Structure 1
Amino acid sequence: MVSPIFLLYFMVLLIIGVPVLFTLGLSPMITLFQSDQMLFANMLYQRLYSGLDSFLLLALPFFMLAGECMTAGGITPRIIAFAQTMVQHLRGGLGHVVILAATIFGALTGSAVAATSAIGGMLIPEMKKYKYDSGYSAALTSAATVLGNIIPPSGIMLLYAFVMNTSVAAMFLAGVTPGIIFCIGLMIMNRYQIRKYPNVKRMERSPALERKQAFRLAMLPLLTPVIILGGIYGGIFTPTEAAAVAVAYAIAVSLFIIKATNAKATYALFAKVAVNAASILIIVAAASGFASLISLSGVSNMVADFMNEITDNPYLLFAIINVLLFIIGMFLDAGPAILIFAPIFAPIMINAGIDPVHFGVVMCANLSIGLATPPMGLVLFVASGVSKVPVSEISRKIIPFIMVEVVLIFIVSCFPQLVIGLPQLVGIM
């Protein structure tokens, strides 16, 4: 058996600022060298390859490319215009526009960081014109754009399905209802919070003709998730094939219909996505080796025994793990966190009677909130760069929205039908 001390090395290396990739590789190797078990190193090298030898993982770079093509293809102004015509007249209207636009944008690109940059870059200056506080605007944008990792298609849900061998179709569909719940919850909090800013100007209701025109312009981009999810659930193509179809559709829409880009710029996106996807997939490979060492060390059994000593109530167990995941998300990006901790926590929850799809969606949503929490929240830094507001101020004003998201995490944890009800209704679970 391998000593579990490699987890301590992992945490130390992470705290001192070693990149996640090298942390995943160094911590096992140091442990194997110290314990004179270098024979296991051959297994780690094999796992580096076998961890990537999956047809399913091809969907990840394809979904990333589809999102980049959509973003570069001029969909952001259309999505924002559509959201404005729908909700701008409500109290705190532009805040609602940010939330709705982030939800739709997430369904098209699956990227919280891209949503923060695109939506924040357009709407934060607009909110300033209507007397919204800059710090509040940046905080709201940060809290809303993490929905991109919850609304399908989601890259981190794909990673969870790969690690735990669950249905990608079920994971995607299970994320729809929680995503809508989060959207509504943030809108309610925005409506409440806006009372602190009495100088905010209210916008007029858009005429019916303007709404119709905005919907017509946004219709083709809005069909993207319909094509992806409809094709998967209709049995027309696999998730990987759906991602490839999404790329073809995104290129066709951006090049030949919207005509907001050209072939040369699209080719540059291929190079950009290739680098970004490689940086993610090499972490997937390293995490696969790390996960195999977790299995050999018996850490999962030790954690399970420890949790069972605390409680045998599945919902209390779920609450404890949610707290742990929230803390983990504050320091580690969602993708690596899922690759490392899903093999530890998911078996515990499954043994407690929690459905793996239910736990997977909650885990992905919980870790996604970490993107908007200090000290490592990447979305906070992007929002700060867009708004020119210090991260410290954004972190302070985002607290009410983070509290809403945390409460909703516990609600969807306690009521599994909010997550798995839709997949069961469709018949894929």
Structure 2
Amino acid sequence: MMTLFVFGVFFVLLALSVPICFAMGFATITPTLMDPNFMADLQFVVRSMIKGVDSTPILAIPLFMLSGAIMATGGLSKKLFDVFAVFIGKIPGGMPCAVVVTCLFYGAISGSGPATCAAVGTMCIPFLMNLGYEKLFSASLVATAAGLGVIIPPSIPYIAYAMVTDTSVGNLFIAGIIPGCLIAAALMIYTVAYCRIKGEDRARIEKNYRELRKKGVFHVLKDGFWALLTPVIILGGIYSGIVTPTEAACVSVFYSIFVCLFIYKSIRAKDLIGFFRSGVKSYGPLAAMMALAQGFVKLMVIIDAPIAISEFLSGTVGNKVVFLLILNIILFIMGMVIDVGPAVMILGPMLLPFAVSLGIDPVHLGIILTCNLAVGFVTPPFGMNLFVAAPIIHEDAMVIGKKALPLIGTYCIALLMITFIPALSMALV
């Protein structure tokens, strides 16, 4: 009964447009407000919050955010795009496909969906429009593909999920590679089909492609080498065991400073103070939310919420297939109103016991949660990527959301494969 009441308070506050951070905090202290003798009093909640974020792995989040911000300003998205465009830009749908691949690789730098949308969209959306592609198609493609930023490692939601479920961050990072590539491939297949049906301004595309080739393939590769090397260093270091995910995040910061400051010379030394300041401002609200999520999770354990949810699911869900189908539907809906990071921290500990009882690996569950909730970046009414892309084309975010529906459908086909074929996630782990 207490479980339903706490969740009821939480979702009612969300429905009233209360910020998720405050909604979570108030729901956490509600039992104490009702009963002063309740064991999870305010002091317990504060201790849980402090203990929950007193963790070395959590340091990877602000460090990856900082390195992503430096590389975004350093113009790495343009160099990545040129590399992919010079190889596939000439084929039908090649330029939009190059945008998808750029989002995939840039996601391995930023670890954030909105950051990927901002960095790639600011450069690629006007570029596609200049080549004759519809502005709504261009914006919806970037907004959807930018969701790969939280699926392809390093991913902030993976770190958040690992914190509350005691799952290996490194395993989650490695497990996210194939699902991220699968979703990117699905979006590219749709893009090629769309361009063949709708047609392209081939004369304009050929002209731009020739100008790009004039630079020389070697020159383009040389210019983009250091940007391409970023995910290799991060993931290669983790996968080989040379560094932990937290150490890899620290390496990514120093690498981003070195590349942008001394190689590309796209930032100045005095700009670093601004990056550090903005990094703290960006991470502050997220850190508060993660701390409150830790208190919320501890409360759920005390009121036996995981057991109550497991008993309810075991009595209503017959098998693994039905559970996964229902889970996908619930996550798709939740992704529309709750950001992926807090959502995985809340749902992960709640669903894990029952999922494990059905034979679902904790790493696979983390991939399912993240991939499902990442669709929320581009689904109305609160799709963050829609609001990032909208100002670029001076259009309403909901109009872009409608245009993105076929892309979302394509994404969901790949999502079902990821859900029901565990090997796609677990093959490299």
TM over 0.5, shorter chain:
yes
- Give the Å deviation of 1:200: 3.7
**Corresponding position of 1:354:** 360
Shift of 1:233: 2.3
Q: Offset at 1:39? A: 4.3
Asked whether 1:319 is paired with 2:320, we answer no
**Equivalent position of 2:351 in the other structure:** 345
Contact 1:4 1:297 in 2 (8 A): no
Specify the SS of the correspondent of 1:233.
helix
Residue type matched to 1:231 in 2? G
Mapped partners of 2:428, 2:40: distance in 1: 43
Query: Cα deviations across residues 92-144 of structure 1 (Å, max 9, x unaligned)?
Result: 22211211111111111112112211211112112222221111111111111
How much does 1:167 deviate?
A: 1.1
Pairing of 1:136-285 with structure 2 (within 5 A): 136-198=137-199, 200-201=201-202, 203-204=205-206, 207=213, 210-285=216-291
Match of 1:382 in 2: 388
Q: Verify the 8 A CA contact 1:103 1:183 in the aligned structure 2.
A: yes
Alpha-carbon offset, residue 80 of structure 1: 1.5
Contact 2:64 2:253 in 1 (8 A): yes
User: For residue 298 of structure 2, what is the aligned residue in structure 1?
Assistant: 292
Instruction: Return the TM-score normalized by structure 1.
Output: 0.95
TM-score, scaled to structure 2: 0.95
Answer whether contact 2:92 2:196 (CA < 8 A) is retained. no
CA distance in 1, matches of 2:137, 2:37: 53
How far 1:197 sits from its partner (Å)? 2.7
1:400 matched residue in structure 2: 406
Counterpart in the other structure of 2:34: 34
CA contact (8 A) 1:48 1:289 kept: yes
Shift of 1:55: 0.6
* 1:426 paired residue number: none
Sequence identity percentage = 33
Task: Give the Å deviation of 1:208.
Answer: 9.2
Superposed displacement of residue 388, structure 1: 1.1
Q: CA deviation at 1:333?
A: 0.2
Q: Is the 8 A contact 1:318 1:349 kept in 2?
A: no
Output the CA distance in 2 between the equivalents of 1:305 and 1:278: 37
Which one of 350, 369, 372 corresponds to residue 378 of structure 2?
372
CA deviation map 1:45-99 (0-9, x unaligned): 1111011110110111111111111111221221121121122112122211211
Residues 168 and 126 from structure 1, CA distance in 2 versus in 1: closer, same or farther, beyond 3 angstroms?
Answer: same
Q: Would you say the 8 A contact 2:159–2:169 is kept in 1? A: yes
Kindly indicate whether the alpha-carbon contact (under 8 Å) linking 1:47 and 1:289 is maintained by their aligned counterparts in 2. Answer: yes
Equivalent position of 2:90 in the other structure:
89
Contact 1:117/1:386, CA 8 A, preserved across alignment: no
Letter in 2 for 1:420: M
Which position in structure 2 is the counterpart of 1:305? Answer: 311
What amino acid is aligned across from residue 279 of structure 2 in structure 1? V
Tell me if structure 2 keeps the 8 A contact 1:138–1:389.
no
Any unmatched runs of 5+ in structure 1? 424-429
- 2:149/2:155 contact within 8 Å kept: yes
Q: Give matches, 1:390-429, under 5 Å.
A: 390-423=396-429
Alpha-carbon distance between aligned partners in 2 of 1:69 and 1:306, rounded to the nearest angstrom: 47
Distance 1:141 1:37 in 2: 52
Alignment match, 2:127: 126
Tell me the CA shift for residue 359 of structure 1: 1.1
Show the counterpart of 1:112.
113
C-alpha separation between the residues in 1 aligned to 2:252 and 2:135? 36
Size of the aligned set, in residue pairs, is 423
Residues 141, 228 of structure 1: CA spacing in aligned structure 2 closer, same or farther, 3 A cutoff? same
Secondary structure (helix, strand or coil) at the match of 1:5 reads: helix
Task: Give the letter aligned to residue 278 of structure 1.
Answer: G
Partner of 1:427: none
Distance 2:150 2:214 in 1: 32
- Residues 3 and 95 (structure 1), Cα distance of their counterparts in 2 relative to 1, 3 Å cut: closer
Shift of 1:311: 2.9
- Where does residue 13 of structure 2 map in the other structure? 13
Once superposed, what is the RMSD of the aligned Cα atoms?
Answer: 1.7
Tell me the CA shift for residue 193 of structure 1.
1.9
Once structures 1 and 2 are overlaid, which stretch shifts more, 385-394 or 17-26?
Answer: 385-394
Alpha-carbon shift at residue 44 of structure 1 (Å): 0.7
Farther off after superposition, 199-208 or 218-227:
199-208
Residue 276 of structure 1 deviates from its aligned partner by: 1.1
Say which SS state the counterpart of residue 187 (structure 1) adopts. Answer: helix
Cα 1:73–1:199 change in 2 (3 A) is closer
Greater displacement, 147-156 / 219-228: 219-228
Tell me the distance in 2 between the aligned counterparts of 1:345 and 1:212. 50
Q: What secondary structure sits across from 2:243 in the alignment?
A: coil
Alpha-carbon contact 2:386-2:398 (below 8 Å) kept: no
CA distance in 2, matches of 1:220, 1:3: 50
Q: Which moved more, 1:88-97 or 1:263-272?
A: 88-97
Query: What is the distance in 2 between the residues matched to 1:315 and 1:210?
Result: 51
Once structures 1 and 2 are overlaid, which stretch shifts more, 70-79 or 50-59? 70-79
Deviation at 1:2, TM superposition (A): 4.8
Contact 1:134 1:389 in 2 (8 A): no
Between the aligned partners of 1:79 and 1:94, the Cα distance in structure 2 is 13
Counterpart position of 1:70: 71
Rounded to whole Å, the distance in 2 between the matches of 1:392 and 1:235 is: 44
